[in-house]
Each structure stands twice: as structure tokens, then as C-alpha cells.
Structure 1
Amino acid sequence: METKKTDKIILFRGIKLLVFAALSLFMGPTLMTMAMSDKENSLYIPLLIVSCLICVFAVFLIFKGIRTIMSSMFKKK
């Protein structure tokens, strides 16, 4: 009977995705706060759009990172 082992390369790839997600989780709302604080600025709309996209990207990275970590632990080669 074959023992299931964690694939460390895939595990580190998932951890790296979660680190980028954590950075995006801080950067997105910070940019959004900066955009909302000065609505008369000419970069209000583009900065708001970019910050919303970064927030959505952070959520995507969280799901992809957790899925990658789970596949490294429970899938066979």
C-alpha cells in the first residue's frame, strides 16, 4: 500500500499564492481609501477601478492558493 505524502513543491507554490493574496488584501483597500478620500482628483475613477480589481484578484488568489495546498496534500501523483 502506497503512503500519501505531501508534494513540497506544490505546497510552496500554494503558500506563495497566499502570500501574494495577503499583500493584495492590504493593497486593495488602502488604494480604495486613498481614492475615496479625494473625490475631486482626476484619478478618482481609475484608482477606484484598479483598487476594486486588486480586491477581486486577492479573493481569487486565496481560493487558488488553498486549492493548490489541498491538492498537494491529498492528490496522488
Structure 2
Amino acid sequence: METSRTDKTVLVKGIKLLAFALLSLFMGPILMTLALSDKENSLYIPLLIVACLICAMAVFLIFKGIKTIMASMFKKK
């Protein structure tokens, strides 16, 4: 009986995705706080849009990273 082993290259790819997600998890709310703290600034709307996109990207990267890690552990070749 053959056992499935973890594909280390796919696992590293998933960990990298989670590292970028962690970076985005901090960067998005910081930018959003900066945008909301000074509403009279001319860059209020563009900075708020970028912050929301970074927050959405962080959520997407978390799901994609976890899915990639699970695929490296449980997929059979």
C-alpha cells in the first residue's frame, strides 16, 4: 500500500502565500486608518480604495494559501 507524502515545493508555495497574506493583513488596516483619519486630504478616496483592495486581497491569499497547503498534504500523485 502506497502512502501519500507531502509535496514540499507546493507546501513552500502555500507558506509564501500565507506570508504575503500576513503582510497584507497589517498593511490594509493601517492604510485604512490613515485614510479615515484625515478626510479633508485630497488622497482620501484613492487611499481608501487601495486599503479596501489590500484587505480583500489578504482574505483571498489566506484562503488560497490554506488550500495550497492542504493540497500539498492530501493529494495523491
Same topology, TM > 0.5:
yes
Query: What code does the residue aligned with 2:49 have?
Result: I
Supply the distance in 1 between the matched residues of 2:3 and 2:63 (Cα, whole angstroms).
Answer: 27
Residue identity in the other structure for 1:74: F
User: What TM-score, normalized by structure 1, do the two folds share?
Assistant: 0.99
Q: Quick check: 1:66 aligned with 2:66?
A: yes
| CA RMSD in angstroms, aligned pairs only | 0.4
After superposition, the C-alpha distances for 1:34-68 in whole angstroms (9 at most, x for unaligned) are: 00010000000000000000000000000000000
Q: What TM-score comes out, normalization by structure 2 length?
A: 0.99
Other-structure match for 1:37: 37
- Unmatched segments (≥5 aa) in structure 2: none
Give 3-state SS (helix, strand or coil) of 1:41's partner.
coil
Q: Which runs of 4+ in 1 moved over 4 A?
A: none
Identity rate of aligned residues, in percent?
79
Q: Give structure 1 stretches of 5+ with no counterpart.
A: none
